[in-house]
Structure 1
Amino acid sequence: MNPYQQNKRWKYILLAFALIIASGSLLYTKYLVKNIARSERTRAQVWALTMKQLLSSDDNDYLNFAFAVRDSLTVPAIITDDKGDIINARELDSTKTFIKLTNEVLEPGQKAKVYDPEYFKSELEMMKSQHEPIRIKTGYGFGKGYWLVYYKDSLLLTQLRVFPYIQLTVIAIFLLAAYTAFSSSRKSEQNQVWVGLAKETAHQLGTPISSLMAWIELIKDKFNAEQDPLMLEMENDVKRLEIVADRFSKIGSKPVLEQHSVYAVVEDFINYFKVRVSNKINFELHGNQQLQAGINIPLFDWVIENLLKNAVNAIEGTGNISVNIGASKTKKLIYIDVTDTGKGIPRSKFDTVFRPGYTTRKRGWGLGLSLTKRMVENYHNGQIFVKDSELGKGTTFRIVLNVLGRAPKTRLLQKAALSNA
C-alpha cells in the first residue's frame, strides 16, 4: 500500500471515530431530553391537579401544602376550559401577561389583570405544536366537564436540545481551522525541503555533467568521430542531463515564459524521446503548428516527458501514443491532448492520480503527475486534468494553456470553453 493510500485509510478511520463520538453524544443527549420531557409532563399534571384541589378544598393546612407544591413547579403552562377560555397560566413572561389594570376592584388595593390575547395566542400555538394537552376532568371552578393543560419545554430542556449541535459545530469549526493551519504549515515545510533538495541536486549534477561533456569532446577529437551516430546520441543524452539539472535549479523560483510554437516544442521532445523507448510503441503528433503560448522550454519538456512516460508505463506491449494540439473557438486557450492505448484509469481516480504518493507501480514514488500538475498550474498558469479514460482502452490527459499567459479562471470554465473544440 502506497503512502497516499495509507494516509487516506487513516483519515477514514479518524472520521469514523469522530462520527461514533458525535453519534454517541447526540444519542445520550436525546436520552436525557426524553427523561426530562417526561418529568416536565408529570410536573404539568401535578400543577393542574393542584389547581383543581385549590379550587375545591377548604382545609387550610392542605391549601398551604398545595400552594407550596404549585409554587415549586416551573414548567411554562396554560390551563383552558373545554371552550378554550384561559383559566390560569404559569411561568410565562410577566411583562406580557397583561396589557393594563382595570378599575374593577377584587379586594381592597387590588385590581384585576386583563391578559394580552396576542401573547397568549402565540404561546398556546407553541405549546400545541410541542405537546399533546393533558385532559383533567373537573366539576369545579370556572369550567364544567374538563380542563386542558397546555405546556411547553422549559428553558433548560430547550437549551439541552440544541446544545449538542452547537457544541459539535464549534468543535468542527475549531478542528477544521486547526487542520487547515497545520496542513498549510506542513505544506510550507515540505515545499522548503523540496526546493532545497532540488537546488542541491542541480548543484551536485553540475560537475559530472561538465566532465562528461569534456570527455565526449576529447573522444571525438581523438578518434575523429565528429559525425559518429553513437557519439551524437551520447551528446544528446548529456545535453538532456544539463536540461534536467537546469529544471531542478528553477524549482522554487518563477521561471521566465517566452512565446514559442507549442507544436515545435512538443515535436522536438517527441523526436528525442521515441528513440529511447520500445519500438513497439508508435508516436503520432497532430495539430495546428502556428499556435503559440508562453512556455519555459526546460520545464515544459518535463511536463511532456512525465505524460509520455506515464503513457508508456500504461501500455503493456504494443500500443499507440498520440498528441493533438488545438485551440478553443475563441482562440484564447490552447489545449494539448496526450492519448494512450493503455490500461486506463477508473473515473473515481481522475483527481487522485495528481496527488503525491499515488502510484500503481511497485517501484514508483507517485511524484510524476504531481510535479506535472505543479509545473503546469504554478509555472505556466495553465490547467491539467484527465479528460477521458476507459479501463482497458486508454486515457487522455489534457493540458490547457492561455495564449496570453494568464491563468484560466476555473476548471469548469475551461472545460466549457473546450467542450466543442
Structure 2
Amino acid sequence: MNFLTNTLLFKRIAILVSLIIVSLILWNTYMFFQKFKNEERVKMEILGIAQKELANADLNSDITLQDKIITTNKSIPLILVDGEGNIDSFQNLDPVKSLNANYVKEQLELMKTENAPIEISYKGKNKQYIYYRNSDLLNRLTYYPIALILILFLFLSVIYLFYNSNKVAETNKLWTGMAKETAHQIGTPLSSLLGWIAILKMEKIDDKYIEEIEKDVTRLNTIANRFSKIGSKPELKEENIVAITKQAFDYLESRSSKQITFYFTTSDKEILTNLNTELFGWVIENLIKNAIDAMQREGSLNLRIENTPKKVKITVSDTGKGIPKKLYKQIFKPGFTTKKRGWGLGLSLSKRIVEDYHKGKIAVQRSEISKGTTFEIVLDKVSF
C-alpha cells in the first residue's frame, strides 16, 4: 500500500515539476523575445532618424555617421515607401527573389502585419515610411521553447520508460518467486500422496482407482515442474509436437463437458520441433481451457496441426463468444482478463513460453463475436 501511495505521489510531483519547468521556459522565452523585439524597434527608429538627417543634409554636412548607421543594418529586412505607398528602396531582402516586384510587395504586406511603420518627414513636407519585419534570429527564437519542450518530453519519456521497466522487472521477479514457491509447496503433499498410493496397493485396493489417483499425482507433479521452470531458461529437446499436443488435448477432453465436441486433426503423425514438453503442454492446455470457458461448456473445439516446409502451425478454434478486435493484443498482457474469476495470467504465460522460450509466435488468427475465436501458434521445425 505504501509503495502504491509513494508511486502515485511521485507521479504527481513529476507532473507538477514538469508543468512548472514548461511554464518557466515559455515565460522566459516570451520575455526575451519581447526585449529583443523592442531592441530591434529602437534600431529601426535610429535608422529612421539617420535616414531623415541624410535626406535633409546639404552638400557641406558630414554624413559619415548617418551613412554608417544605415549601411551597418545587415539583419533586419526593411522597405522604404513614400507617402503614397510606392516602394522607394529596400534592404536585406533575398537578392534573387527581390528582382521580382511581386515578391517585394508580398514582403511589404508581411511587414505591415508584424510591426508598426516608422514615419520619416523631410522638413515637415514629404513623408516616407520604414516598414520592417523581425530578423531571422528573432524568428528562430520562436522555435526555442518548442525545442526545449521536446527535450523535456524526451527526458521525461526516458524516466518513465526506466521506471516502467523497473516495475515490470519487479513484477516478473514477484511472479517468478511465487511460481517457484508454489512448486516447492506442492512437492511436500506430492511425496505424501506417493506414500499413500504405495499403502493402497498393499491393501489390495481396486487397481482402476489407484490408476486414476496416479494420473492425478502425475498431473500435480507436471504442474509443479512447470512452475519451477518459470523465470529460468528451459531446456529444449527435439520432440514430436503432434504427440505432445495430443497428450494435452486428450487429458482435457476426458475431463471436460460431454456437450463439447472435440476434434483433433493433423497433416502428419510426426513433426519434429525443439520443445520443452512440460511448458508447451501448458500452452496447449491454456488455449483449450480458454476455449471451453468461452463456449460455456457447450460447443465445438477444433485443434489442427499443419506441417509446412519450414514451420509447424497449430490452431485452436472454438464456437464461443468471440473477442473484439481491439482486444487482440491486450489479452496477452499480464493481469488482463474478461472472466469474473481469473488472474489474467494464462495467455501472458503462454505468450512468454511460445515467444521468449521457443522463439515462435502466438496470436489471435481471427475472431467473430458470438461465433468463435481461433488462436494460432507458429514454431520452427527441426532442420535437417
TM exceeds 0.5?
A: yes
Do the aligned residues in 2 keep the contact of 1:263 with 1:325 (CA within 8 Å)? yes
Show the 5 A alignment for 1:150-299: 150-153=132-135, 155=137, 157-226=138-207, 228=208, 230-288=209-267, 289-299=269-279
Residue 360 of structure 1 pairs with residue 342 of structure 2: no
> Which residue of structure 1 aligns with residue 3 of structure 2?
none
TM-score normalized by the length of structure 2: 0.75
Report the alpha carbon displacement of residue 233 of structure 1 after superposing the two structures with TM: 2.0
Q: Which of 372, 376, 379 is equivalent to 1:401?
A: 379
Alignment of 1:15-414 (within 5 A): 46-47=45-46, 49-55=48-54, 76-80=76-80, 82=86, 85-86=89-90, 128=107, 131-132=110-111, 149-153=131-135, 155=137, 157-226=138-207, 228=208, 230-288=209-267, 289-328=269-308, 331-404=309-382
The residue number in structure 2 matching 1:5 is: none
What runs of 5+ residues in structure 2 fail to find an aligned partner? 1-11
Q: CA 1:27–1:199 in structure 2 vs 1: closer, same or farther (change >3 Å)?
A: same
Shift of 1:154: 6.1
Larger CA deviation: 25-34 vs 379-388: 25-34
Q: Give per-residue Cα distances to partners, 1:361-397, cap 9 Å, x unaligned.
A: 1221111111111111121111111111111111111
Give me the identity figure in percent: 35
Counterpart of 2:131 in 1: which secondary structure?
Answer: strand
- Using a 3 Å threshold, how does the CA distance of structure 1 residues 138 and 17 change in structure 2: closer, same or farther? closer
Aligned residues of 2:48 and 2:130 also touching (Cα < 8 A): no
Partner-residue secondary structure (3-state), 1:396: strand
Change (3 A) 1:28 1:295: same
- 1:117/1:167 CA distance change after superposition, 3 Å: closer
Offset at 1:53? 3.2
8 Å contact from structure 1 (residues 324, 338) kept in 2: yes
Q: Deviations over 1:132-171 (max 9, x none)?
A: 3577787859xx985663433363x334311221111111
Quote the offset at 1:246 in angstroms.
Answer: 0.9
Contact 1:29 1:161 in 2 (8 A): no
Which one-letter code corresponds to 1:283 in the other structure?
Answer: F
Cα displacement (A) at 1:314: 0.9
For 2:274 and 2:332, locate their aligned partners in 1 and report how far apart those are by CA, in whole Å.
23
Distance 1:310 1:281 in 2: 13
Instruction: Tell me the TM-score normalized by structure 1.
Output: 0.69
Root-mean-square deviation (CA, aligned residues, Å) is: 4.3
Deviation at 1:57, TM superposition (A): 5.0
Cα deviation code 1:51-71 (max 9, x no counterpart): 45324557xxxx9xx98xx89
Change (3 A) 1:130 1:190: farther
Residue 392 of structure 1 aligns to a residue whose secondary structure is coil
> 5+ residue gaps in structure 1?
1-12, 93-115, 406-421
